[in-house]
């Protein structure tokens, strides 16, 4: 988003917070959903996380506390919400802050960012190791939220074949994470995919 657009939205918040939130929502909802789905591999969950973020952003008047870039804040908050959601799926107690109570603080805690980046790279690498057909089935299912039947029709496969490809893909991702000593994350993602 160019600086002019950021300033335009900041001015909109100053005159009408509802309009400012609407402009941010229109500008960032789809890109933030795409960002979130990279972590949770579920389009509907990603959309829910982003919608929750915008709801809290408006109702808690977080926009008043942000002095830096709205974009930077939103992307970091979505990433943290995605990781918290995945941890919740596992039943873990530790959570990352959503940064909703501390906007514009340094969210660059090196250990946390390194852990998140390591996990993302490991997942991306695991998905890249899948065969082209399995990878396509996986991406259509997890990124586009398509059903087995829809994928089967699109790829000219049977729904059972699609299901088998997806189960094998999940198994391979789990195995890859285990080999990289990220096994707790593997269980986390299997729980999220089930």
**Mean pLDDT of the region 178-186:** 55
Report pLDDT digits (tens) over 3-30. 467 888 888 888 888 888 899 999 999 9
Total count of domains within the chain: 2
CA distances from 107 to 2, 76, 79, 95, 120 (A): 22, 8, 11, 14, 17
Residue 15, both tokens = 């005159």
CATH at 16: 1.10.1740
Residue 170 lies in a domain: yes
CATH at 162: 1.10.10.10
Q: Could you give the residue ranges of the DSSP H alpha helices within 91-180?
A: 110-128, 132-142, 148-155, 159-179
Residues 125 and 81 in one domain: no
Q: Provide the 10 A C-beta neighbour count for residue 148.
A: 20
Strands (E), the chain: none
97 or 63, which is more confident: 63
Longest distance between any two alpha carbons in the chain, whole Å: 56
pLDDT range class, residue 156, cuts 50, 70, 90: very high
Model confidence, pTM? 0.50
| Domain span at 21 | 3-90
């Amino acid at each position: 988003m160019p600086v002019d657009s950021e300033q335009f939205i900041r001015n909109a918040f100053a005159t009408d917070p509802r309009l400012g939130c609407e402009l941010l929502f229109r500008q960032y909802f789809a890109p933030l959903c795409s960002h979130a789905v990279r972590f949770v591999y579920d389009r509907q969950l990603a959309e829910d996380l982003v919608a929750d973020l915008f709801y809290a952003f408006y109702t808690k008047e977080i926009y008043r506390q942000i002095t830096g870039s709205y974009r930077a804040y939103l992307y970091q908050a979505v990433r943290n919400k995605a990781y918290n959601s995945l941890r919740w799926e596992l039943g873990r107690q530790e959570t990352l802050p959503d940064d909703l109570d501390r906007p514009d603080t340094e969210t660059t805690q090196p250990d946390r960012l390194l852990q998140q980046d390591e996990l993302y790279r490991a997942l991306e690498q695991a998905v890249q190791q899948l065969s082209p057909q399995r990878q396509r089935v996986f991406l259509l299912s997890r990124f586009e939220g398509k059903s087995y039947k829809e994928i089967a029709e699109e790829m000219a496969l049977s729904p059972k074949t699609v299901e088998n490809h997806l189960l094998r893909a999940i198994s391979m991702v789990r195995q890859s994470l285990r080999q990289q000593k990220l096994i707790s994350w593997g269980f986390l993602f299997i729980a999220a995919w089930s």
